[in-house]
Amino acid sequence: METIIRTEKITKKFNNNETVLKGIDLSFYLNSFNAIIGASGSGKSTLLNIIAGLLRPTSGKVFYQDLEVTSFSDTQLSKFKKYKISTVFQNYLLLPNLTVAENIRIGISESNKALPFSEITEMLGIDDILSKFPSQLSGGQQQRVSIARAIIKNPKILFCDEATGALDEENSIRVLKLLHLIKKHYGITIIFVTHNLKIADTAERIITMKDGIVHNDMWNENPISADEIKWGVNVDHSRE
């Protein structure tokens, strides 16, 4: 398998001298769907933010293919994030004064390798709301718009930080299906942070964080589909 991004002995301390990450070594592979799970405070979101270039580590390195991302200047890092990766958050971060179409096109304003606009909006089921503003949309619609904005520029990696955390079951299933379809159709590597083991069980690989370290790293031999998630069953925290 071809490695697309990897970490080398990543640590992170914050101002209170709390060590959130303790020497993380991980490799992520081209066209794979990865879930990073763990309880609150395990370090999973901090790890994602460092890999995605949103936060600098205290020590250690991040490599995108053969490029050491952690050595980039702020200008180089901004360019890397603009052309190589995208991030979807729990909060949709849509600009309220722009229409759906305008919000999506923000992602392709300076990209020469954008995916077809109509293809993406149709795939995500938002082609009939392009003239609406975010305030006129449901939470599920807003999240699908944020995903469209993230993938329209054809990133190599899509980072998702609790991307279904604010959605109901129906919209969570729809978003998960779309993410798996995007991965399959466009070959985009997905790294998905979640506290929900039911969602993680749809991934090909499940990485468990605990107390700032990788507690478990396993390939999921039998990933389930989003439709198979038993939402009414309590979350099993045995892997945490």
Residue 19 domain-assigned (yes or no): no
Q: What's the CATH number where 100 sits?
A: 3.40.50.300
Q: What are phi and psi of 159, to 5 degrees?
A: -95, 135
Assigned domain for 127 exists: yes
Q: Measured between alpha carbons, how far is 211 from 219 in angstroms, rounded to an integer?
A: 21
Q: Which domain holds residue 109?
A: 29-55+86-227
d(CA 164, CA 183): 17
Residue type, 181: L
Q: Is residue 50 part of a domain?
A: yes
The answer to whether residue 141 sits within a structural domain is: yes
What pLDDT was estimated at residue 168?
A: 83
- CA 98 from chain centre, in angstroms, equals 24
Residue 128 falls inside a structural domain: yes
Position 235 scores a pLDDT of 42
What pLDDT is attached to residue 27?
Answer: 98
Contact 142, 134 (CB under 8 A): yes
41 falls within a domain = yes
Asked whether residue 139 is domain-assigned, the answer is yes
What's this model's pTM, rounded to 2 decimal places? Answer: 0.90
Rounded CA-CA distance 50/14 in Å is 13
Per-residue model confidence (pLDDT) at position 96 = 96
Pair of tokens at residue 83: 């052309």
Query: For residue 60, is it within any domain?
Result: no
Low-confidence ranges of the chain (pLDDT < 70): 109-112, 230-240
Please give the pLDDT value at position 233: 43
The answer to whether the beta carbons of residues 113 and 186 sit under 8 Å apart is no
The residue among 34, 26, 29 whose CA lies nearest residue 200 is 34
How far is the C-alpha of 118 from the C-alpha of 125, rounded, in Å?
10
**In whole angstroms, what is the distance from residue 160 CA to residue 5 CA?**
15
Q: What pLDDT is stored for residue 219 in this prediction?
A: 96
Q: How many domains does the chain have?
A: 1
